[in-house]
Amino acid sequence: MIEIINLSKFFSTESGDFTAINDINLTIEDGDIYGIIGMSGAGKSTLIRCINLLEKPSEGKILIDGVDITALEGNGLLELRRKIGMVFQKFNLLMQRTIRDNVAFPLEVAGVDKKQRLERVDELLDIVGLNSKAGSYPVQLSGGQQQRVSIARALANNPALLLCDEPTSALDSLTTNSILKLLKDINHKLGVTIIIITHEISVVEKICKKVAIIDESRIIEKGLVKDVLKNPQKEMTKKLLERGELIE
């Protein structure tokens, strides 16, 4: 279980301080697919990046199975990150490595020996249906295939938690559906908890069990998808339902 308690992040820039997220409280149960939806600049990316400490929170706590992770440093921090998978909007594959070696990257980092690495990579490429591309390079793959590789990579170290930062925003609608289906399968078969950041309501409708709506750095509404979407309480949520997505 992940408990986010009174979490805030302030940035100081040359043009003054600004608050990226403000007093966020959120509980994510094991096995959930939790959607966090908001406009660009609302703070949703900062929030997800706090969970594996790519951003260091300014205030508040993040408890994973009851242990506060926000104070982790050095090896403790590296260990934590190895247990959390992350998928990015831009896929971010290593362009000079084959698909096989891209998926093997987190295993290499964790010190898994070569034989085990290769076995695990085969399993992972099976899961995402790309075994035939093992020897190819990223540039030879389509966007959707590259995102599958990045999902396989994120699952390499058997994480209990998968963070997805706008995983379908760079994809067309058909590919989006297949990636969402893959994420749902992974959640179902492997029991991986998934937190997914998006600005598209359709993503939430298709795979999420729960949703939080974030606006101007704060969570304005949260709960089961069926409740929130059927009976929105806030103006922003209603607007979102009308337009289907939250881009200005």
**What residues line the site for other proteins (CB under 8 A)?**
52, 54, 77-82, 84, 86, 88, 90, 92-97, 105-106, 108-110, 135-140, 150, 153, 156-157, 163
User: Nearer Cβ to other proteins, position 84 or 197?
Assistant: 84
Residue 37 CB-density burial (10 A; 0-12 exposed, 13-18 middle, 19+ buried): buried
Task: Name the residue with tokens 């396989």.
Answer: 152
User: Nearer Cβ to other proteins, position 9 or 210?
Assistant: 9
Smallest separation (angstroms) from other proteins to the CB of 14: 12
Smallest separation (angstroms) from other proteins to the CB of 103: 11
User: Nearer Cβ to other proteins, position 111 or 230?
Assistant: 111
**DSSP strand pairing (218-224 vs 210-215):** antiparallel
Q: How many other C-beta atoms can be found within 10 angstroms of the C-beta atom of residue 181?
A: 12
Distance CA 108, CA 96 (A): 16
Smallest separation (angstroms) from other proteins to the CB of 105: 6
User: Order of strands across the sheet with 2-13?
Assistant: 16-28, 2-13, 59-64, 67-68
User: Nearer Cβ to other proteins, position 56 or 181?
Assistant: 56
Smallest separation (angstroms) from other proteins to the CB of 145: 11
User: Nearer Cβ to other proteins, position 136 or 177?
Assistant: 136
Distance CA 173, CA 71 (A): 40
Q: How many other C-beta atoms can be found within 10 angstroms of the C-beta atom of residue 73?
A: 9
Smallest separation (angstroms) from other proteins to the CB of 54: 6
